Copies of this chain bind each other. A is one copy, B any other.
Amino acid sequence: MSLITVGSVAFDAIETPFGKTDKIVGGAGTYIALSSSYFTKDQNIVSVVGGDFPDTFISELKARGVNTEGLQIKQDEKTFFWSGRYHNDMNSRDTLVTELNVLEHFNPIVPESYQGAEYVMLGNLAPQVQKQVIDQMTERPKLIAMDTMNFWMDIAWDALMETIAMVDVLIINDEEARQLSKEYSLVKAAKCIMDMGPKFLIIKKGEHGALLFHSHHVFFAPALPLEEVFDPTGAGDTFAGGFVGHLAKTDDLSFENMKRAVIYGSAMASFCVEKFGTERLMNLSEEEIDARVQKFVELADFDMEKVL
């Protein structure tokens, strides 16, 4: 099935206890598209970059099957830039620089060739921008998934509510779920958020795994315990890319298959954090992904039958 990814294509500069990078390519749209490219070649990106963005990276995306017709290039402007420094525990970070640049007045355009796509992944952006993309679809996609963050809850509540009401799957972290629902219990938070519209809710808990909620069903996906988290940047977007990529590949929206999609998302995210930026996502093999998924199977497997 055809997948549209909407999200920033950007420059990041990252500092972790393990080292620092110069400006490297990052952005939610980049991580999502790279991750989902391991599942489906029928995919399309909607984003914007400046004249300073390397053609070579756009060629790289194309080589991975990503249609970049919806990637606007504003020759006289600069690409979105984010810089951050992770603390020693890797669970928190300080933003050092945020230069919106081309994102400040981003009007997403969905090219005619993207119409009819069954799957849409809305990476973290202003909810108004996410909604613009949905509004441009002449046919309602089979599944729209959406990421967001605290920032939009603080400054664009009404627009956020409007966009959330239009999507099928919301993918956020535990802190965001609590802020969005004003509930501390994630079970109560999930009920509250599903009442806002989404039939499925994924709450990401970083090293503690992820929860998938749907109606009265819950699935608890483990996270792979890692020796070292080298750079967490993009892990959430990589998760979303694996999740939606698996769904677009299999075109099966049963809860059982949603669970598999969460495991694929988790597996992809576990690769992402092993190296700086997108490095680890550039050259994965199918065998590596299968082996990693197998690790998740072993990690969570138990059999109570003997005693029940």
Residues of A within 8 A of B (CB): 88-90, 184-188, 190, 205, 207-209, 211, 218-223, 225-229, 246, 250, 256-257, 259-260, 262-263, 290, 293-294, 296-297, 299-304, 306-308
Partner of A302, one of B259, B304, B308: B259
Asked, given contacts A209-B208, A302-B259, A304-B263, whether A184 binds B220 with beta carbons under 8 Å apart, the answer is no
- The smallest C-beta distance from A34 to any residue of chain B, in angstroms, reads 20
Within the complex, which residue of B88, B187, B218, B297 is in contact with A184, where a contact is CB–CB below 8 Å? B88
A–B complex contacts, Cβ < 8 Å, 8 sampled: A186-B225, A188-B227, A246-B307, A259-B301, A259-B302, A260-B303, A260-B304, A290-B308
Determine which residue in A186, A227, A290, A300 has the highest number of CB atoms from chain B within 10 A of its CB, and name it: A300
Given A88-B184, A304-B263, do A220 and B211 touch, yes or no (CB 8 Å)? no
B260 touches A219 (CB 8 A): no
Q: Tell me if A302 and B187 are in contact (CB < 8 A).
A: no
**A306 to B: closest C-beta gap in Å:** 7
Residues of B within 8 Å of A257, CB to CB, are 306
Pairwise interchain contact B307-A260, C-beta atoms closer than 8 A: yes
Evaluate contact between B185 and A228: CB separation under 8 angstroms: yes
Query: Is A256's CB under 8 angstroms from B303's CB?
Result: yes
8 additional contacts (CB under 8 A) given A185-B227, A219-B300, A256-B302: A90-B184, A208-B209, A218-B225, A220-B300, A221-B302, A263-B302, A293-B308, A300-B300
